[in-house]
């Protein structure tokens, strides 16, 4: 018997962080995240996010402070989509494909208080920091994200890392209550930069209400049922993964996180975990064609694929569909809080 978070929200502020608490209560045995050998349940993800948020508060993160993250689709960046706004701060996910100069420009504009960095991107992060004025460097606390199964740090001289913040975070019941007490649904939840194809990256502030409604819009437009198994091929730094970060929690789904997007990695995860949904920019549709495809004809339903941006060529869509994928085309933009147009299939088109 599941309480849809929507209803209590009639008068309460609309915010997607309620999806997390609901998932931990309604789906206590369901897997929230799979990443290699690492697995979490929804209650574990909820607990980790509460701890991280408590740690952010203890680091004196104040309302509307910016917390940046430079990471591929690893569990930490997923958790930060909840934990950072639970701490009252604003998430700023950074495109890992940008060069140091572009990232430095974003930092000068966004003025983050904390930067979380995936350990494998340490070189890029350090190059970026060197481009910043000394004072900005001093004001920016850098915290590295190591693999979740890495041994704990031994000496207290080691710098703080992500897992350490989660371990030391101790949410009291009053601080948890505070985390969910969003004052105004129009408050910012994330600061996203456009990819900068036309000029300097532009900052787009999205609100709790905006992403809540868009996360539901994606569920409706793509007809995502309960318990999707969602493969993270689309970067979460790309417009919050088209808000699917939050949609998957709303549906009690499973996030399959992968560090590298390649055909073998995609097909391996589809087979291992029974992936039902994934988002692919046209480039990734091409990657699907390269692989050594599984025999997906045994599956009762195809893997649902959302593709965005410019319309992919019909021939490409046909080839991908023959491999066992069902493609839905959407259009959206960072400035509009994600996907805004869905090409819903009309039965008569099949004739």
**3 is a site residue for a second copy (CB under 8 A):** yes
**Cβ distance to a second copy smaller for residue 23 or 166:** 23
**Cβ distance to a second copy smaller for residue 220 or 272:** 220
Q: What is the 3-state secondary structure (H, E, C) of 64-89?
A: CCEEEEECCCCHHHHHHHHHHHHCCC
Closest CA relative to residue 162, chosen from 146, 140, 139: 146
Rounded-to-integer distance, Cα 25 and Cα 28, Å? 6
Q: Tell me the window of 71-79, 100-108, 228-236, 329-337 that interacts with a second copy (CB under 8 A).
A: 329-337
Write down the least CB distance from residue 53 to a second copy, Å. 25
Q: Tell me the window of 131-139, 149-157, 284-292, 342-350 that interacts with a second copy (CB under 8 A).
A: 342-350
**Cβ distance to a second copy smaller for residue 4 or 289:** 4
Site for a second copy in 26-55 (CB under 8 A): 26
**333 is a site residue for a second copy (CB under 8 A):** no
Q: Which residue has the tokens 């993270």?
A: 232
Closest CA relative to residue 74, chosen from 5, 132, 144: 144
Closest CA relative to residue 93, chosen from 238, 197, 263, 217: 238
**340 is a site residue for a second copy (CB under 8 A):** yes
DSSP state of 198: S
Rounded-to-integer distance, Cα 174 and Cα 178, Å? 6
Rounded-to-integer distance, Cα 81 and Cα 240, Å? 8
**Cβ distance to a second copy smaller for residue 170 or 344:** 344
Write down the least CB distance from residue 131 to a second copy, Å. 35
**337 is a site residue for a second copy (CB under 8 A):** yes
**328 is a site residue for a second copy (CB under 8 A):** no
Among 199, 347, 350, 351, binds a second copy (CB under 8 A): 347
Site for a second copy in 206-235 (CB under 8 A): 207, 209-210, 213-214, 216-217, 219-221, 223, 225-227
Write down the least CB distance from residue 263 to a second copy, Å. 29
**Cβ distance to a second copy smaller for residue 225 or 264:** 225
Q: What is the 3-state secondary structure (H, E, C) of 17-72?
A: HHHHHHHHHHCCCCEEEEECCEEEEHHHHHHHHHHHHHHHHHCCCCCCCEEEEECC
Site for a second copy in 274-303 (CB under 8 A): none
Specify whether the CB–CB gap between 73 and 232 falls below 8 A.
Answer: yes
**243 is a site residue for a second copy (CB under 8 A):** no
With H, G, I as helix, E, B as strand and everything else as coil, classify residue 256: strand
**Cβ distance to a second copy smaller for residue 171 or 210:** 210
**85 is a site residue for a second copy (CB under 8 A):** no
Burial letters 272-291, b for 16+ CB under 10 A, else e: eeebbbbbbbbebbebbeeb
Write down the least CB distance from residue 268 to a second copy, Å. 23
Site for a second copy in 159-188 (CB under 8 A): 186
Rounded-to-integer distance, Cα 112 and Cα 140, Å? 7
Write down the least CB distance from residue 225 to a second copy, Å. 5
**309 is a site residue for a second copy (CB under 8 A):** no
Taking the CA of residue 5 as centre, how many other CA atoms within 13 Å lie in the half-sphere pointing to its CB? 26
Q: What is the contact surface with a second copy in residues (CB under 8 A)? A: 1-4, 6-7, 9-11, 26, 186, 207, 209-210, 213-214, 216-217, 219-221, 223, 225-227, 250, 331, 336-337, 340-345, 347
């Amino acid at each position: 018997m599941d309480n849809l978070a929507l209803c209590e929200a009639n008068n309460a502020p609309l915010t997607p962080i309620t999806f997390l608490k609901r998932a931990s209560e309604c789906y206590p045995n369901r897997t929230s995240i799979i990443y290699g050998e690492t697995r979490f349940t929804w209650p574990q993800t909820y607990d980790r996010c509460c701890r991280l948020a408590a740690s952010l508060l203890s680091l004196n993160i104040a309302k509307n402070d910016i917390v940046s993250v430079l990471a591929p689709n690893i569990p930490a960046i997923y958790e930060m989509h909840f934990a950072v706004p639970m701490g009252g701060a604003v998430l700023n996910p950074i495109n890992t494909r940008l060069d140091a100069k572009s990232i430095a420009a974003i930092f000068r504009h966004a003025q983050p208080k904390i930067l979380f960095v995936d350990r494998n991107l340490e070189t890029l992060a350090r190059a970026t920091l060197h481009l910043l004025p000394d004072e900005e460097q001093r004001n920016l606390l850098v915290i590295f994200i190591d693999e979740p199964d890495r041994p704990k740090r031994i000496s207290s001289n080691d710098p703080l890392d992500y897992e350490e913040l989660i371990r030391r975070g101790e949410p009291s019941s009053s601080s948890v209550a505070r985390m969910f007490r969003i004052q105004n649904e129009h408050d910012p939840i994330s600061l996203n930069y456009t990819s900068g194809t036309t000029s300097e990256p532009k900052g787009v502030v999205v609100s709790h209400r905006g992403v809540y409604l868009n996360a539901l819009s994606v569920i409706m437009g793509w007809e995502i049922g309960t318990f999707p198994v969602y493969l993270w091929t689309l970067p979460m730094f790309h417009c919050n993964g088209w808000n699917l970060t939050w949609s998957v929690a709303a549906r009690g789904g499973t996030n399959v996180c992968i560090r590298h997007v390649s055909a073998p990695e995609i097909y391996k995860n589809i087979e291992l975990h029974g992936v039902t949904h994934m988002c692919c920019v046209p480039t990734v549709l091409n990657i699907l064609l390269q692989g050594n495809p599984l025999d997906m004809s045994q599956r009762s339903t195809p893997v649902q694929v959302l593709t965005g941006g410019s319309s992919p060529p019909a021939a490409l869509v046909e080839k991908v569909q023959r491999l066992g994928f069902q493609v839905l085309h959407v259009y959206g933009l960072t400035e509009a809080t994600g996907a805004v147009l869905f090409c819903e299939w009309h039965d008569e088109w099949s004739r």
